[in-house]
Structures are given as structure tokens and as C-alpha cells.
Amino acid sequence: EFKLKFDGDHGNFKLAFISNMSLTAEYEADGKLLILQIKGKGDALINCVNVDVEIESKLNQVKDNNGKDHLKLGTPSYKYKIEKTTFDLKNLFNGNKELADTTLQFANENWQQLMDDLAPPAIKQIVKTVVKAINKFFASVTTQQIIKGYSP
């Protein structure tokens, strides 16, 4: 789901989207996971279901080198909610299945507390990437083209 609210008269921009997200990575852990000791090295898969992100920003008007007006998003504010997250870490405890299964069960039952630490930097990077893409688009079309309709 994707929603865009563009209020040029008041200089406001709001973007909201809901998406499932997956992260595949190599991990290496030797420490604590909330209250459990964790140790391992291998493949990791983190699946987030229904990640709901809302980005709000002021719209600023800037001039390009030719004196033409363009829109540019200011520093955004954002909020997010995640419906559910699951973790799958391979080779936990050097393949000890019983310890690994117990630890993963704990992680998946307590996903919210884990994501309180893991999600903020990831969401911040997503917002930064989205704002950069939107500003790249705004730099390529003038305010006049947006108002009247784009024609190359």
C-alpha cells in the first residue's frame, strides 16, 4: 500500500507506505541476546511483516543554475510500526540444534524488544534513501512542470 499527500499551498509533503521487508546477511555473534547468551556465525534471514512507514517533510522551493524553481524536501520526520518479525540464524552455537532452536524460539517470541534496538537505524536508512530519490526526481522537473503537468 502506498499513499502520497502533496500540499503545495502549505508546503507539506507526506508519504506513507506499508511493505514486507526481508534482510539477508552474514552474521557473527558472541554476546547476549536480551537475556540469553548467543554465539554463532553464518547466514541470517530477518523477515518483517507489514512495515508501516510515514514520512513527513516541509517542501522548500529552490532555484537551479538556470534560475528555474524546483521543489526539495526538507529534513523529514518519520514514524513506523512493524506488525511482526521473525529471525532465522543458521549455525547458531556451532550447529547445536537444541540450543539454536530454543534461542530462535525466544528471539521470535520476543521480536518486539529485539526490533526496538535493530529497527531504528534500518528505518532511518530507508527514509534517507526514499527522501534522496524524491529529491532527485524534484531536481529533474521544475515546479512549473509539476503544476501544469510534465511534458519533456
Q: What is the pLDDT of residues 97-148, one digit of tens each?
A: 999 999 999 999 999 999 999 999 999 999 999 999 999 999 999 988 887 8
CA dist 28 and 89 (Å) reads: 10
| Stretch (H or E) spanning 41 | strand 36-63
| Domains of the chain, CATH where assigned | 2-148 (3.15.10.30)
Task: Write the DSSP string, 83-115.
Answer: EEEEEEETTBGGG-HHHHHHHHHHHHHTHHHHH
Q: What is the pLDDT of residues 13-49, one digit of tens each?
A: 999 999 999 999 999 999 988 888 899 999 999 999 9
pLDDT-derived band at 1 (thresholds 50, 70, 90) equals confident
Does pLDDT of 6 surpass 80?
no
Does pLDDT of 152 surpass 70?
no
Residues sharing a CB contact under 8 Å with residue 9, sequence separation 6 or more, in sequence order? none
CA dist 143 and 138 (Å) reads: 8
Does pLDDT of 150 surpass 90?
no
